[in-house]
Each structure stands twice: as structure tokens, then as C-alpha cells.
Structure 1
Amino acid sequence: MSEGEGRPEISLRLLEIFDAIMRCGTTVEAAQQLGISQPAISNGIRQLESQTGVTLFERLHRRLQPTEEAVALHEDIKPVFALVRGFAARARDMRQGMSGRLRIIATPPLGHTVAPLAMRRFLKNRDGVSVAYDVRRLEHVIEAVQSGHADLGLALGIDRHPMVNVETLARTHMVAVLPDAASSEDSSVDARFLGSSDFIGLEIESRLGQMVRAAFERDGVRYQPRVEVRYCATAAVLVTAGIGTAVIDPFTAAFQGAPGMTVRSFLPPIEIAAVMITRKGVPRSRLLHAFISEMKTALSDFQAGGARVIAAP
């Protein structure tokens, strides 16, 4: 058997006691810092000296004087305990939602409007937090959350999905947007009014596009867009240019609002849900809970500002 073989391994706790005494200078202060008794500190040092076979302290007038060997050994373990203290601090920040990385993906109606407002407040006073943020189409949002490439998805016009969790944050209604020249004095317009002039439709393969088409059909109006676009924001830009009317989500209408465009309620009403999408079977971190809270607040503020948003129960 080689020399030293069979000796008990030195525990991290004994090294922690050694480090505390070297930094504090007395067993009393070391005991207070570690939250243990003074006899436990003294016993730990005796055990460490026994295991190492090295005298670490000279006992002079009820004080412990580090030996040269103790000073040299402490230099070796300083980086270890710096890492331990850093680990503890980072864990505490994570526990309090003040550190970490969050991956968020959203469809344009929320990703370019309300979500950035929530993110601004979320990041304030969280210097240790970073965010990976992307804005994509709905199918990409669902795929990213399902595969674990995103922690949270934000979208409109989806109530459920078999592969992910879908939770409603707020409910609202689509609105009509019209060039000022085609504006109606009424507070609301219907499909017949919009269908009587050039209409800008949403991509029919999209969920919102299908909802708009169904609303036209319910009103007995032929759905025949002069221009078809993929995104609500694009429709708003074309309306502002005077190309035609459109039915889009209220978030885009509010944030894309510009001179030349009028917003009206649309009949028959098209209710849509603002939802968050999360991965099944994965618990939510404190960081994620914190962002969700800010997102709910942002939606509530949007509602308070006069937008037609109904807070989810």
C-alpha cells in the first residue's frame, strides 16, 4: 500500500473551516460566519491537521497563528472558495429571478408591440439577466418551444395545441383599419362596408386570415382581397398608403398607427386570444415567471390606454 493510501479524503467542509479562519483571524469570527459553534471550528482544524499531517496553526495566547505551511496551502484553495462563493451568489440571484438567460420567441403582432414593453421592464434592475429574442411565424414559434429551443412563445389566434401548453393572457378583438379618405363616421364598420372598396387581406393560410374570411362569409359578403399580405403590420402600412382597408389585430393597429389611418371596431366581432406557449412537462423558472408577470402587466396597461383588450380570467 502506498503512503497515504487508505487515509480519509479531506472534506470540503474542513477546507471551508480552514478558509474561514484564515480570512477571519479568530475561531469566534469564523464560527459566526459559518453559522456553527466555536468548538466545531476548533475540532475541524484538529481533524484537518490530523488528516494532512501538517501543523496549520500555532496556538499563542488563545489565538491561532497560521504557520508558513498554512499560508501556502490557503493560497492553493483561495480560487476554490472564490468559485464556491460565486456559485452561491449566482444561485441566490437565480432563486430571486435576478440572473440567468431567457429565450423568448413571438409572432409579430405581440413580438413587435407589447412584448418589447414587457421586456424593457423585465430587464430593468436585472443586470445579470440576458434574453435571446426572436420574432417568427406561428409554426416556428410552436416548433421552437416544443423542441426546447425557446422557453416561452407568444402568439395570437391559437387556443390549444396538442404538443405544447397554451395559456391565455388576454382576449381582444380584431379591428378595422381604413385610409382617412375612406373613413366612416360610425364607431364600427362591417364586412359589407369593407367589401365595397379595395380590401387588403391577410394570408389565407394563416389563422388570422382564416378568421377574417369566416367573418366575411358570416355576413354574406364575398371575400376577395385586392392585395393579400402575410403580416398585419404590412397591411397597416398599405392602409396608411391609401391602398385599401384591412382587418388586423388591435396591438399592431395601435403601434403602427400613423397619420392617414383610422381605426374602427369591426363587425361581426372576431375574438382572438393573446397566449403564451410553454413546453409540456418542464417547470417554469423564477425568471420565466417574472417575465410572464411583466407581460400580463404590459397587456393590462395596453388595455388601460384605451385598446380593446379583455384581461383573461
Structure 2
Amino acid sequence: MNLRQIEILRAIIRHNTTVAAARVVGLSQPAISNAIKTMEEQAGFALFQRVNNRLYPTPEATILAEDAEAIFDLHDKLERRIRDLRDSRAGQLRLVATPPIGYGIITSAIQETQQARPKIRTYFDVRRYEGVMNGIESHNAELGFILAFGGKPGIQSELLCHCDMVCVMPPGHPLSARAQLGPRDLRDYRFIALERGTRLGEATRAAFEAEREEFNFSAEVRYGNTACALAEAHAGLAVVDSLTAFSGRFKVAVRPFRPAIPVGAYAIWSENRSLSRLARFFLARVRDAVANVPSASIASGQADV
């Protein structure tokens, strides 16, 4: 007995007439009658008794129908899952990001996504640049988010935004009165450097070299978040990416840094895996979050956050 026959059996038991059953399953009344005959031949026993033009199931038919309910429950569950996946309401997100993006844009995008799609599960990790690349290449994560992506075979990317690096300092610092700052302006103050060998750390050093200014620092850190925390604690000034500076987690004054050090924020994913509907939905939320970053205030002058 196939699934279509089981569906017909169920409809007849529920409605007691071939006419009503035919209407429910979308067949003609003669087709229902033929289906009954075929099912009884296959089963080897009667499934219905006709009394006053109505059909009543035999005890054997009732047993079969009760057992078949589990099949229909499973089918209904599968249909719901298909609808949820089609509408990106179910499934799982596997994400990895470097700290500048992970602790700001991605967290807000996750919150918006989970609010809109409460059934999904999110697996999120924050790693250094190499860890993000490895997460995508090993397929442990579907989407990655990094700064200063230089391109790599097998990796697809989307530029989310350009943002210049900025100088951060405690609110009320003497240099906060300046419209913008450069390497020479920092020479008499404690400077917190991003780690040598990192992309942003090397870019900062190159800017000092371009201005023929000696690169002196009182502290060296790997991440812009650490630099901002130290600046907030009056441990010095730092040059960090604007996504970190404007994340809202630090009480610091932010000023443009010149010469400009442009930094791109990128979404990346494996070239040999198409993004799921849910991943594309999430990426749209990330774009919205990027659009709300007040980086425009950097170009125009000053901001305290």
C-alpha cells in the first residue's frame, strides 16, 4: 500500500463517503471506488462495509489507519521544516569573525536575525585573521568576516564597507581639540601600537614611515579592542579601525588619522559551497548593521563615544 492509497484510506474513514473523500484528496468518485478495490485486493481482506450509501471501516482498516497517523505526522513535520527553510525560519548559522567585526557588527546582526527567525541556532566564534580563513576553508563556518582581506584562491568575498583608521584617546585629552591627528601629533604622548606582523599593525607603521616619523610605543597589543580599553583607561592613545572605535563599547574620543589608512571590511565564504538561504538572510542583516556604523562622522571631524 503506497502513500497515496494510505491518504485515500484515511480520507474515506474520516468522511464515510467516496464523494467526500474524492473532494478532499482531489480525485473523482469512481477513482476512489477503484482505489478501495485495489487496496482490498492488495491487503487480502475487506477494508470497508457499505451501509445506506455510507462506508464504515472494518476493524482491520481502523488498525491500519491508526498506524498510518505516524506517517502523516512525520509528513506534516517535514512540510513545516520545508516551509521554515524556505522562509529562513529554521536551520543553523555557523559564523566566524575577527574581533573588530565580531564584537560589533556581527553581534547586532545575530540579535536581529534571531529576533526575526527564533527557531535558528547560531554557532559563532571570534578568532584572529588566520583562524577565520581556516574556519571557512575547513567548512567549519559558512560565513566569515574580516578586515583587510587580500584575496585568496577558493574564497569568495564581498566588500561590506571602507573605513579609515582613527585615533582614539580618553575624553578630554588635549589632542581631542584637534580636528584630525597625524604621527607627529602623537610623538609626545604614550602610544599603544597594534602588533607588528598584523595587517593593521603594519599599515600603521607604514603611515608613520611615510611621514618620516619614528614609531615609538609604550604598549603593543594584538587587537583594537584591547587598544581602546587601554585608551579609555588613560594608558595612551591608539590608532585603530573605525568599526572598533565606534562599536559603542568604549568611552573614548575619536579623531580622524592622517595620512589616511583605508581598511575594508569583508564577508567571505567558500567558493565551492553556495550560501544557504539563511546565510544570505544573515548577510543582509550584516549589511544593515554596517550602514548604521557612524563612520561618516569620522570624515567630517570629531566624535566622542
Q: Please report the TM-score for the alignment, with normalisation by the length of structure 1.
A: 0.88
Give the structure 2 partner of residue 191 of structure 1: 183
Distance 1:245 1:49, change over 3 A: same
Give the structure 1 partner of residue 121 of structure 2: 130
Describe the superposition over 1:48-68 as per-residue Cα deviations: whole angstroms up to 9, x where unpaired. 222111211223333321111
Give the structure 2 partner of residue 214 of structure 1: 206
Distance 1:303 1:193, change over 3 A: same
2:63 is aligned with 1:100: no
Looking at structure 1, the residues matched to 269 and 47 of structure 2 have their Cα atoms a distance apart, in angstroms, of: 55
2:192 is aligned with 1:200: yes
* Alpha-carbon shift at residue 35 of structure 1 (Å): 4.1
Looking at structure 2, the residues matched to 235 and 57 of structure 1 have their Cα atoms a distance apart, in angstroms, of: 80
* Alpha-carbon shift at residue 218 of structure 1 (Å): 1.5
Q: Partner of 2:91: helix, strand, or coil?
A: strand
2:282 is aligned with 1:301: no
Give the structure 2 partner of residue 232 of structure 1: 224
Describe the superposition over 1:105-144 as per-residue Cα deviations: whole angstroms up to 9, x where unpaired. 1111111111111111111142321111111111111111
Consecutive unaligned residues in structure 2, runs of 5 or more: 301-305
* Alpha-carbon shift at residue 250 of structure 1 (Å): 1.2
* Alpha-carbon shift at residue 258 of structure 1 (Å): 4.0
Question: Which letter does structure 1 place at the counterpart of 2:200?
Answer: L
Describe the superposition over 1:177-214 as per-residue Cα deviations: whole angstroms up to 9, x where unpaired. 12333424222111211234221111112111111111
| Matched pairs, number | 299
Identity of aligned residues (%): 37
Give the structure 1 partner of residue 60 of structure 2: 69
Farther off after superposition, 46-55 or 82-91: 46-55
Question: Which letter does structure 2 place at the counterpart of 1:81?
Answer: F
* Alpha-carbon shift at residue 163 of structure 1 (Å): 3.5
Looking at structure 2, the residues matched to 39 and 128 of structure 1 have their Cα atoms a distance apart, in angstroms, of: 44
Consecutive unaligned residues in structure 1, runs of 5 or more: 1-9
Distance 1:22 1:150, change over 3 A: farther
2:65 is aligned with 1:83: no
Farther off after superposition, 16-25 or 240-249: 16-25
Looking at structure 1, the residues matched to 295 and 213 of structure 2 have their Cα atoms a distance apart, in angstroms, of: 34
* Alpha-carbon shift at residue 284 of structure 1 (Å): 1.4
Looking at structure 2, the residues matched to 29 and 283 of structure 1 have their Cα atoms a distance apart, in angstroms, of: 46
